[in-house]
Structure 1
Amino acid sequence: MTQPPHDEPIAADTDDLREQVEQTRHELGETVQALADKADVKARAQEKAAALKEQTTAKTAELTGQAKAKVSEASEVLQDKVPDAVKDKTAVAVEQLRTKASQAEQVWQDNAPEPVRNNRTALIAAGAALLAVYVLLRRKKK
């Protein structure tokens, strides 16, 4: 028979011995469960994927908010500095961009994987807004 650990007293009677055995079984069960959890690669991968998805969603929302703020800022600055002739040309360009954005959205809807499509509206709006600002700034330089 093996000796008990040095930090535990030797059982005085059978009841104490049974209690020690039961405690050891309980601890062993917890240890086995912890090892099984570490060995469950699929569950760990799913947990990691869920965490990454959450981080990606949060970062997308943050970047979309920043992009909208910058576009709004740039739009205000440009409204004050751009001549009316350029504004008219810009209106035409914006309409063309809206058409292209609509076409891009249809292509996106047809080809993008479902998890990516869930955020398509924000991404398309941010891209279209940035493109409009780029066009405005480029026309101003000419």
Structure 2
Amino acid sequence: MTQPPHDEPTAETPDELREQVEHTRQELGATVEALAARTDVRARTKEKAAEVKGQAAVKAAELKEQAVFRAGQARTTAAQAVSRMQDKLPDPVRDQAAQVAGQARVKAAQAGRVWDTKLPEPVRTRTAQGARMARDNRALVAAAGAAAAVWLMYRRRG
């Protein structure tokens, strides 16, 4: 037999010895279970993947919230810029910009009919997406058009 550890007293009766053996068995069982859990790579990988997935979902939600907030800020800023730009434009420039926009709509409709018949499907899809983005950001497009009209007007004078 082996020597007992120095910090544990030896059993004096058979019942105490049985009790110590049972306690040692329980400790050994717990140790084996802990070691088995550490060596179960598949279970640990699944746990880590679930943890990372949860963290990614939280981060994605935070980023989405920030993006929505910043998009709202950008929309507000663009609307304010358009309003300031329109206030500063002389009436003849505004009228000319409206006329050019009307002509552009007519030409776009004509081009759209040609594109529907001639262009391949992927190009039509991307074009439709661009048109949708322009419609969704009308204020920004109007500000750019007004700025271009002002630039052209001053360019012709100079």
Q: Which residue of 1 aligns with 2:129?
A: 100
Q: Which residue of 2 aligns with 1:51?
A: 51
Decide which structure has the larger Cα Rg and report it. 2
Please give the TM-score of this superposition, normalised by the length of structure 1. Answer: 0.62
Q: 1:32-67 deviations in whole A, cap 9, x for unaligned?
A: 001100110000000011011101100110000000
Q: 1:67-111 deviations in whole A, cap 9, x for unaligned?
A: 00001011111112114869x89xx9xxx99x528xxxxxxxxxx
Counterpart residue type for residue 81 of structure 1: A
Q: Distance in 2 between matches of 1:13 and 1:71?
A: 79
Q: Which residue of 2 aligns with 1:35?
A: 35
Aligned runs of 1:117-132 on 2, under 5 Å? none
2:149 counterpart of 1:136: no
Q: Sequence identity, in percent? A: 45
Q: Which residue of 1 aligns with 2:10?
A: 10
Contact 2:4 2:10 in 1 (8 A): yes
Query: Offset of 1:23 from its aligned partner?
Result: 0.6
Q: Which residue of 1 aligns with 2:74?
A: 74
Counterpart residue type for residue 47 of structure 2: E
Q: Distance in 1 between matches of 2:40 and 2:12?
A: 41
Structure 1 segments unaligned to the other structure (5+ residues): 102-127
Please give the TM-score of this superposition, normalised by the length of structure 2. Answer: 0.56
Counterpart residue type for residue 70 of structure 1: R
SS in 1 for 2:57: helix
Query: Offset of 1:2 from its aligned partner?
Result: 1.0
Counterpart residue type for residue 136 of structure 1: L
Superposed structure 1 runs of 4+ greater than 2 Å apart:
83-86, 139-142
Q: Which residue of 2 aligns with 1:117?
A: none
